[in-house]
A and B are shown apart, each in its own frame.
Chain A
Amino acid sequence: MVETEWVFLDVDPETAEFPLTMKIGNTDVVIFRVAGRLRAIQRWCPHQDADLVDGRLMGDMIKCSLHGFIFRFTDGRGLNCPGINAEVFEVASELGRIKVRRIAN
């Protein structure tokens, strides 16, 4: 397994206003705080590119505002849209900053 590079975001997770957006390579990513825990998912819905910044948090899942498709933050699986999955990212806080990286295959 190849470890991917952390990308640091110079934002204090304690005071930041979520959701936050950033890029990992060419991929737009959106970061949420869910029950005190950081979660990162591709920003544009894999179905029809709606902005997941506008999505609705439901437990440890996000529901796209366009068609109600729901993705699980733990693995990106589309729970009510068979065959459609989102990419999720590893995200953590470190010394007052947020770090995000692509999950290695």
Chain B
Amino acid sequence: MVAHEFEKVLKGGRVIDPAQGIDQISEVGIKEGRIVSVDKGLEQNGAVVIDVRGFVVTPGLVDIHVHAYGILGFAYPDRVGVYQGVTSMVEAGGPGVDTFAEFSALMTDRMVTSLYAGAYIRPLGIIGVDYVEGDVRSMKNVPIGKWLDLADEHKDVFRYLKIGAFGNYGTGIIKIGKGLAEILRVPLYVHTGDFSDTPDQVTTPTAYRMAEQGDIITHLYHSNPGNILAEDGSVIPDVIDAARRGVLFDIGFGGFNFSFSIAEKALAQNVLPHIISSDLQQVNVTGPAYSLSNVMSIFLTLGFSLPEIIERVTINPSRALSLDNKAGSLRSGLPADVTDLKIEDGEFTFADCAGKTRMGRQIIKPVMTFKGGKRYDVDLEWAQEEKNWLMQISEDNIPAGANSLDARQKDFLERLALSLESLDWNPTPIDLVLAEEISDRFYRTRDSIGVPMKDALLAVYECFLEEPFTYQIGLFLFRLQKPFALERMRAVAEKQMTIAGSRPDNLIVTGSPPASYK
């Protein structure tokens, strides 16, 4: 074996890579950000050796259901990514066809964790409140041409089309969604389960009947109206049939989307998830979801073996979204995305979304993540810091970040304020027509002076936010009181510029990757 074949060697861990059928004590050799080989006793001359004895070494975890962007998203999404052992994640519906450009401008190159997107069929993407989501009119139009352009332009990022099987939509939207996914040649990703109000008609069985091989149904074990059990506790036949056809089932733990009772009854009937995902978002990162690894631990308590769980957070999600040439395995040549896990013994209490608990004897704790060969030490609790998940409007003071805006951005703000002057809105309740009108005026103003999308978005956010949250722009402005919004934008526009390039410290996470906007 040639010396210096590796730059880094992870030595002595129990390597579990279900994609390659590996479960043994091995070394993992890394060079130039890629996996070179997984084998026993790799030559370590000249390599940085990282002792991982006692750890389980797996492909970097893949979470196909996270809210990193938009109305449900985080200020610092890497904190639910590499800092929790997850190297690839999929934004589950934040952007729609009308906001995908915003998503792309803001999120490209923002994170260390690879971020892919499932776009929502509603033009603005997910709204997050059921009094809007439950109204079929909020779906607006479905512009096929624009969708095709999106799928073409963002083919490396766009992974699935998300729809919601809930509310009093009837089943029409499921059929439209299935048709659109087929046109776009991406899997259909279906949220199942109503918030908690019982609709006139439960639409979930239709979703199971419509889904084809490779489509994915999420929130498999939710206990809301439209769950997978019949009144007698048996799994409804539509679910069994869907599994036979090759439809994939995903967990999407969420905030109200996972029940021990449903899970245990379904498992007793051999209805298993193919994919385990977290559905992490602002409302559940401080519990009950916490992290993907917490959801993985819950599956240990439900009787899954460690390799069975690893498979469902690596190669299974990766294959389902055609990412297996980039993630999900430790195959030679793939990016060196690796997660080291510690399995701790003890007595642990795990809670589902209804607060029901189960005792477990083991817990899975990621300790170290490698992304493209670069090491990140896990801090599971960092994501729970309030400034990461609670978006607060800076009402009394202009955020320091506004100092960094340049003359063109200030010109944009002034013009945007002028353009919005003639529109009246009140933030309660949400009026999508008005939010879209605000969005249109934002876009028209931007087009009129040619400000890049990212600069225009940041110009607005920096007027109101201390932390780098992202948010569909029309919805963001709509939720502010109009007089306050316009006055603030004008005040920032008139502010004298400080030294170019100066930047407040509070938008930069010390010692971390570029989690801030710029």
Contact = CB atoms under 8 A, between A and B. Distances in A.
Contact of B391 (A58, A59, A67, A80): A80
Interface stretch (B233-241, B359-367, B422-430): B422-430
B255 A80 contact: no
B391 to A, nearest CB: 7
Interface residues of B, number: 27
A58 B283 CA distance: 12
B29 to A, nearest CB: 43
Interface in B282-329: 282-284, 286-287
Contacts of B430: 82-83
Interface in B355-382: 355
B196 A80 contact: no
Contact of A67 (B71, B283, B392, B428): B283
Overall SS of chain B's interface = loop
Nearest to A68: B283
B285 to A, nearest CB: 10
A80 B427 contact: no
A68 to B, nearest CB: 3
A71 to B, nearest CB: 12
A67 B390 contact: no
Given A68-B255, A83-B428, A83-B430, A63 B283 contact: yes
Contacts of A54: 355
B428 A48 contact: no
B386 interface: yes
B55 to A, nearest CB: 33
Contacts of B128: 80-82
A82 B128 CA distance: 9
Interface residues on A, range: 20 to 34
B392 A79 contact: yes
B1 to A, nearest CB: 53
Interface in A39-55: 47-48, 54
B282 A80 contact: yes
B392 A82 contact: no
Contacts, number: 57
B246 to A, nearest CB: 33
B256 A67 contact: yes
Contact of B479 (A47, A56, A58, A82): A82
A66 B196 contact: yes
A67 B479 contact: no
B16 interface: no
Given A65-B355, A69-B283, A79 B390 contact: yes
Contacts of B197: 48
* Residue in A59, A70, A85 whose Cβ sees the most chain B Cβ within 10 Å: A70
Contacts of A79: 390-392
Interface in B451-504: 475, 478-479
Given A79-B392, A83-B428, 17 more contacts: A47-B129, A48-B195, A54-B355, A56-B287, A66-B256, A67-B255, A68-B282, A69-B283, A70-B390, A80-B390, A80-B391, A82-B128, A82-B478, A83-B430, A83-B479, A84-B129, A84-B429
26 contacts: A47-B129, A48-B130, A48-B197, A58-B286, A58-B386, A63-B283, A63-B286, A66-B256, A67-B195, A68-B256, A68-B282, A68-B284, A69-B283, A70-B390, A79-B390, A80-B282, A80-B283, A80-B391, A81-B129, A82-B128, A82-B430, A83-B129, A83-B428, A84-B129, A84-B428, A84-B429
Interface of A: 47-48, 54, 56, 58-59, 63, 65-70, 79-85
Interface of B: 71, 128-131, 195-197, 255-256, 282-284, 286-287, 355, 386, 390-392, 427-430, 475, 478-479
Q: Which 4 pairs across A and B sit closest by C-beta, in order of nearness? A: A68-B283, A83-B429, A68-B255, A82-B479
